A = this chain, B = another copy of it.
Amino acid sequence: MDESKLAITYELIKTCKQSGARLGRVHTPHGVIETPAFMPVGTQATVKTMSPEELKQMDAHIILSNTYHLFIRPGHEIVKKAGGLHKFMNWDRPILTDSGGFQVFSLSNMRKIKEEGVEFRSHLNGDKLFLSPEKAMEIQNALGSDIMMAFDECAPYPAEYDYVKKSLERTTRWAERCLESHARPQDQGLFAIVQGGMFEDLRRQSATELTSMDFPGYAIGGLSVGEPKDMMYNVLECTVPLLPAGKPRYLMGVGSPDALIDGAIRGIDMFDCVLPTRIARNGTTMTSSGRLVIRNAKYAEDFGPLDPECSCYTCKNYSRAYIRHLIKAEETFGIRLTTIHNLHFLLQLMRDVRQAIMEDRLLDFRETFFAQYGLFENTKGF
């Protein structure tokens, strides 16, 4: 296949001699993503509280949006009529859409999994709906994202070996059907999702099956679902080496600062997570000295910035006392300020990680960062 015709290509710039992490670029129809990259999540065609200009100001290269949510509201046909998701939401940089698979399993009850696809009820109004590999492709083709994800089943944790094996094999068959029904391979790149739970041999089976098909990128799904972090890193260590070096690798749903560093060290190029935006809405912030809960009374008369080492809009212009006041008063501008800060924090962290890879010192960077920042028990528990 002529690589120049592919929607998505990966360019390896260099590998960190100290850590093995990769510095690279993902080329997409809407521009370049410097990797390792963190992708802010814009579930409903908006990164909660943010404008596109604010995301650009903090130099987000790509955002993620959710197929399940847009399918339910406003409906992919409306987004298509608007000229696609980029135009609909006024974002002209790359967009990745997930497949809806994860949300069908995490948000909807009354789901029935069949070989054909999944029957489920809308979490909004209870309507009976159906998603399948073909439908997930139809929706994502209508949305027009740069990177689409194959429709998969994310097995729960913990789960029985036999269930996980059957599930990953179905995910492989579904990936094949996605590849066949994808209508716009010149415009949109389709990534497959490696499953297999916490079982090393099943991860190897899934990776082997999926890489035998020609996807322009591979994701690792089914992690950060409640397992200990060591278990997650074990899975990465047995899975990543099986993925093709010439294609991007995306670890789904991971966004705690320490896991971004430890994921990059294990060869991951892309990450996404609602963590920075979700905790921001509750007034929890990430700073260079660790977690800071701005509601705490001790910040009532603290007129310094959230993070003295940070150069974001929030830290340049507002005090902890003011942000605390806004959050306690339930003012929207307060969650705008904490969201800007948290996203900037992770995007700056990824810039620092890329610089450290360039200079072959990512393990040193990790040590310094962890000493100052501390470690969190697991990615969900920030």
Contact = CB atoms under 8 A, between A and B. Distances in A.
Contacts of A317: 90
Contacts of A12: none
Interface string A26-58: 000000000000000000111011110000000
A335 B335 CA distance: 14
Interface residues of A, number: 35
Which among A90, A322, A335 has the highest number of chain B CB atoms within 10 Å? A322
Given A300-B74, A325-B44, A333 B50 contact: yes
A325 B300 CA distance: 37
Interface of A: 44-46, 48-51, 73-74, 78, 81-83, 88-90, 300-301, 303, 317-319, 321-322, 324-326, 328-329, 331-336
B331 A48 contact: yes
**Identical copies of this chain, number:** 2
Contacts of A44: 325-326, 329, 331
B81 A325 contact: no
Contacts of A326: 44-46
Nearest to A335: B332
A140 to B, nearest CB: 18
Contact of A300 (B51, B78, B90): B78
B50 A82 contact: no
Contacts of A332: 48-49, 332, 335-336
A299 B318 CA distance: 38
A89 B329 contact: no
A133 to B, nearest CB: 26
B46 A301 contact: no
Q: Which 3 A-B pairs have the closest CB atoms?
A: A74-B325, A49-B332, A46-B333
